[in-house]
Every structure is written in C-alpha cells, then in structure tokens.
Structure 1
Amino acid sequence: MKYSGIGGQAVLEGVMMKNKEKYAVAVRKPDGEITVDTKEYYGLIKNKTLRNIPILRGVLSFVESLTLGISTLTYSASFFEEDEEDTKAKKKELSKEAAAKKEKAEMGITVAFSFVLAIGIFMILPYYLSLIFQKFITSHVALALIEGIIRMMIFLAYIASISLMKDIQRVFMYHGAEHKCINCIEHGMELNVENVRKSSRLHKRCGTSFLLFVMIISIIFFAFIDVKSRILKVVLRLLLIPVIAGVSYEFIRLAGKSDNPVVNFLSKPGLWLQRLTTREPDDSMIEVGIASVEAVFDWKKYLSEM
C-alpha cells in the first residue's frame, strides 16, 4: 500500500475529497445528476513551517477539518432544501459580499456551538458522572479509567442512536464509498466502480479512528491530573484537549503511512468502530466518490509511480 495523501468525508448524498489545498464536493442531486464543486482551502495558518510542527499540526488539522466539514455538509444540504426556490430568491436579494459575510458568520457560530457541545457531552459530562464512583474508589487513576469508559459508552450510544436515522444511514454509506475509493487507489487498482466495490470500507486514516484515539489517549493524560479542586480538574481537562487531539492525529498520520504490525494492531479498535460509522455503498454512491476523487487527484499518475 502506498500513501496517497488524500482524505475526505461523507456529506449529504455525496462525498468530499481533499488533496493538499484542493478539495471537491460531489453530490448526487435529486434529479440524479452528479454535481462537483471544486475549491481551495489553505487552512488557518499558511506558514508551512508551523504546519509541520508535530502536535500543532494535529490541532490545526482538527479545527480545520471541523470547519471544512460543516461547510461542505451545509453545501450538500442546500440541494435538498424544501424551500429551495425561496432560498435562491433570498440569496439573489443579497449582494455577493453580504452573502459571503453572512455565510462566514453563520459558519463561525455553527463551528463554535458544535465544538462547545462536543466538549460538554464527551469531555465534561463523563468527568462529573465518574464522581459518582468517588464514594467507593479513591484512586484517581482508576477514576480516570472509569471516566474514559463512560466517555466511550456515551460516544457509542451516540453513534448507535444516530445510525437509526435514515439520512444518517445513507451518510454512512457514502462514508463507506469514500473509504473504498481511497483504498482502491492506495492498493494499486484503477479507480472504477468494479474495483471500488471490492475494496474495503475500513481505512486506518479515518476521523472515526481519530475520535476513538482521542478518548483512549485522554485516559492516559487525565490519569496524571491529581488535584483536589474539581474546577481545576475541569480546567486542566479543557487545556489538555488540544494536546490530546495533536497526539491522536500523530498516531493516525503514522498509521496511514505504515504497515508496521504493531501499528496495524493498535489501529484495529478504530477499524472495528468504523463498522458502525460506515456501510456498504451502492454503485451510484461509488460513482459520486469517484467523481470527487478525480476532481482533486490524478490517480492514473499516482498508479504509474507506484
């Protein structure tokens, strides 16, 4: 397997693929046509030296992925709005500059709200729930482990609950299409429906695996927080989030480039979890994934250099 450098995510009835600064969102519109929107995204910091600093690059990647992810999801959803004609009419009334400012403001609010909500549910809530066990357990290491288990249970319950929604099930199928397209070319096969169909829907370089490692690594970090003040414990947890995200990113980055047996073994929990967040796509979904890849990546040149 050769590292391609491309990555992506599923969107509503489509796939986003990113290669360096270029990304494309391919969406299957209600009329069956595939539309592909290609743009460039340079991230929060353009300085390449800073972007290559270990840990820091992971923090940047996490924030940028969240921002770009919400933006592309919003874009894909625009094709399926019930009052699409009314929406278009309203957009025409706004100048391009005003519309751009409004979109940026809305995106900023959405990203901030999503981040705060995620921190509250997956970081702060597990800590306070773990305090129930303080009556029986005095070891802060054991309590950190219990907190981590609670965090994973909340995360798994969240995944299980949203997977019951029909729209999310289709998003998970497109998630599978995204992985299968990347696996297809990284395993030296031509990018076509037949080859993609027989490729794996699981991939070591996945956001699902990243989130799992964030939760696992947080147990290790939080086990070293041995202070009496509950408020200080919460503050320290919040301060450590960027570091934990950075460390998790470094492992996922390594896993995506390595076939080392130890790395492969450590990657297995993330791959198992992806069985919940991916589904086998149909051929029409695979076609969308292929369209997204081809908009940002010259897979023929890539295969010729393998």
Structure 2
Amino acid sequence: MTNSGIGGQAVIEGIMMRNKSNYSIGVRKPDGEIAVEIYPYENFIHAPGLAKIPLIRGVVAFVDSLVIGLKCLMISAEYFAEEEDEETKKKQAEMSADELAEKKKKEKKQEDLLMTGTLIVSLAAAIAVFMMLPYFVSDFASKYIHSKWLVSLFEAVFRVVIFLIYLLLISRMKDIQRTFMYHGAEHKCINCIENGLELNVENVMKSSRFHKRCGTSFLVYVILISAVLLMFVQAESHIMRIVLRLLLVPVIAGIAYEFIRLAGCSENRFVNALSKPGLAMQKLTTKEPDETMAEVAIAAVEAVFDWKTFIGENFANA
C-alpha cells in the first residue's frame, strides 16, 4: 500500500477530506444532491514549523484535527437546519449591506467563541474521564491493594476498560451508526486509491473499511501508551502524581501520533502487529457504507486530490 497523504473524517451526512493546503466537505443534502465545498487549510496556531518537529507535531495535529472537525460539523449541520421563517427573511431583506455585513461578523464571532468553548470543554472532559478518573479510582483502591505496581496495573487496566465501554456505548447509538458508515466510506476511498484502484463506487465498496492512519487508532494508542507509561510514573505526593499525569498528556499524544505516522507508511511485520489493536477498534467506529455514501466520499476526495496522477505515478508498472 502506498501512502497518499490524504486524510479525513465523517461529518453529518457526509465526509471531510484534507490534502495539503485544502480540505473539502462533501454532504448528501436532504433533496439527495451532493454538495461539495472547498476551504483553505490553515494551521490553528499559525506556526507550520511546529508540524515538522517530532512529538510536538503530534499535539499540534491532534488539536488541529479537532478544530477542523468542529468547523466541518457546523458547516454540514447548516444543510439540515430548518429554513428561516418569513419574518427573519423579511428583516434581512430590509437590512442594508453594511448591516448585513455587521450581522455576519457578529455571527462569525459567536461561532468562533462557541467552537473554542466546545473544544476546551471536550478536551477537559476527555482528560478528566480517561486520565484522571482511572487515577482517582486506583488511588481509592490503594487502600486495599498494598503493592504500588499492582495499583498502577489496576489503573492501566481500568483506563483501557473505560475506553472500551465508551466505544461500545457510542457505537450502539443509531445516529452515530450512520456517521460511522460515512467513516467507513472515507476509509474505503483512501484504501481504494492507495491500492492503485480507479476511484469509482464499485472499487470503493470492495475496499477495506479499516485504515492504520485512522483517528480511532490514534486514540487507542493514546490510551495504551498512557496505560504503560503511567505505570512507571511514581511519586510520593498525591498532587505531584496528578501534575505528572497532566504534563504527560501531550507527550503521550505525541508518541501515539509518531506511531500512527510510522504505521501509515510501513508494511513491517512488527509494525503491522502493533497496529492490530487500533484496527480492531475500528470494527466499532466504522460500519459498511452504502453506495450513496461512497458517492459522497468520492466527490469529497476528487475536490482536493488528483487520484489519477497519484495512481499513474505510483502504480504505472503494477
């Protein structure tokens, strides 16, 4: 398999695909038409150089994916928002160009504040549930378990179990299941291209819905790496143990990203073996899409990626 460098994620009734300096959003509208929008990609901290530094680039890429993901979710949701009532339309029609511009500017500011707030709350909730909760539970268990290593092992196992329960629960939600079908369509498109096949519905549908560069795999390795690494983080002070866990969050994310990056361009047996836990979890976070979803995924890919040139350059002699 050849690394194409493209990546994406599912949104509401559609898919986001990113390639280099652009990303696209393909959405199946309520009337059945496929809408595709293209946006320039800008690093959220406006420091592209950080995206080249090992470990640090993992943290940047993770937060960056969250920012773009939230933007794309909000954009895709607009296609399914209720139509404005007649009174609202009338008020807008009576506004001057300057008033409309000011209104849009205000709405954009509110949208940015909402997105920032959502991002902060989401990160804080994830750290609280998957990093701090296991610690506090294991700290309580230490009253009954007198070996520090056994307490650390208990914390590691609890962290993995709570993550598995989370994935199992969300995978059973009906609305999320449809999003996971689009997630599968995204992977199938990328696998289709990276295996040198023409990008059409037939080839996409027969391609695998599992991919080593998936965000699910990244999260799996964040959990697994934290489970192992934190077993060796020993400190006498209760406060210091909490501080160390918080300080290690970006380090853990950086290590997980570097592994996913390596796995995405390697067919080494050892690397493939280490990739299996992430691929296994994708059985929960991806579902087999239908052909209409594959069409949306193809439209999103073609908006930002010249797959014909890629196949010609990488599979000419195949």
TM normalised by structure 1 equals 0.95
Corresponding residue for 2:298? Answer: 290
Corresponding residue for 1:13? Answer: 13
Q: Which moved more, 1:185-194 or 1:232-241?
A: 232-241
Equivalents in 1 of 2:164, 2:88: separation in Å? 41
Q: Which moved more, 1:281-290 or 1:161-170?
A: 161-170
Q: Does the aligned pair in 1 maintain the 2:12–2:77 contact within 8 Å?
A: yes
Q: Tell me how far 1:88 sits from its aligned partner.
A: 11
Matched, 1:153 2:152: no
Matched, 1:60 2:75: no
Equivalents in 2 of 1:88, 1:63: separation in Å? 40
Equivalents in 1 of 2:50, 2:132: separation in Å? 30
Equivalents in 2 of 1:272, 1:127: separation in Å? 26
Corresponding residue for 1:239? Answer: 247
What SS does structure 1 have at the residue aligned with 2:37? strand
1:1-306 equivalent positions in 2, closer than 5 A:
1-81=1-81, 83-86=82-85, 89=88, 95-306=103-314
Q: Tell me how far 1:254 sits from its aligned partner.
A: 0.3
Q: Tell me how far 1:244 sits from its aligned partner.
A: 0.4
Q: Deviations over 1:258-284 (max 9, x none)?
A: 111100000001000100100000000
Equivalents in 2 of 1:4, 1:286: separation in Å? 18
Q: Which moved more, 1:294-303 or 1:229-238?
A: 229-238
What SS does structure 2 have at the residue aligned with 1:190? coil
Q: Which moved more, 1:95-104 or 1:163-172?
A: 95-104
Q: Does the aligned pair in 1 maintain the 2:156–2:231 contact within 8 Å?
A: no
Q: Does the aligned pair in 1 maintain the 2:24–2:300 contact within 8 Å?
A: yes
Equivalents in 1 of 2:295, 2:222: separation in Å? 32
Equivalents in 2 of 1:170, 1:36: separation in Å? 19
Q: Does the aligned pair in 2 maintain the 1:159–1:277 contact within 8 Å?
A: yes
Change (3 A) 1:199 1:40: same
Equivalents in 1 of 2:281, 2:3: separation in Å? 22
Change (3 A) 1:89 1:209: farther
Q: Deviations over 1:178-211 (max 9, x none)?
A: 0000000000001000000000000000110100
Q: Does the aligned pair in 2 maintain the 1:28–1:35 contact within 8 Å?
A: yes
Equivalents in 2 of 1:125, 1:74: separation in Å? 30
Q: Does the aligned pair in 2 maintain the 1:78–1:84 contact within 8 Å?
A: no
Q: Does the aligned pair in 1 maintain the 2:152–2:230 contact within 8 Å?
A: yes
Q: Deviations over 1:82-138 (max 9, x none)?
A: x34259948956623222212111111111111111111111111111223313433
Question: Radius of gyration: which is bigger?
Answer: 2
Q: Deviations over 1:23-72 (max 9, x none)?
A: 01101111111111110122134444332110000010011011111111
Equivalents in 1 of 2:8, 2:294: separation in Å? 14
Code of the residue aligned with 2:50 in structure 1: it is: L
Equivalents in 2 of 1:237, 1:161: separation in Å? 26
Q: Which moved more, 1:91-100 or 1:205-214?
A: 91-100
Change (3 A) 1:140 1:68: farther
Change (3 A) 1:88 1:221: farther
Equivalents in 1 of 2:152, 2:78: separation in Å? 42
Q: Does the aligned pair in 1 maintain the 2:160–2:227 contact within 8 Å?
A: no
Q: Tell me how far 1:221 sits from its aligned partner.
A: 2.0
Q: Kindly tell me the number of residue pairs found equivalent between the two proteins.
A: 305
Code of the residue aligned with 1:262 in structure 2: it is: F
Equivalents in 2 of 1:114, 1:26: separation in Å? 25
Code of the residue aligned with 1:258 in structure 2: it is: S
Instruction: Report the identity percentage.
Output: 56
RMSD of Structure 2 on Structure 1 (CA): 1.9
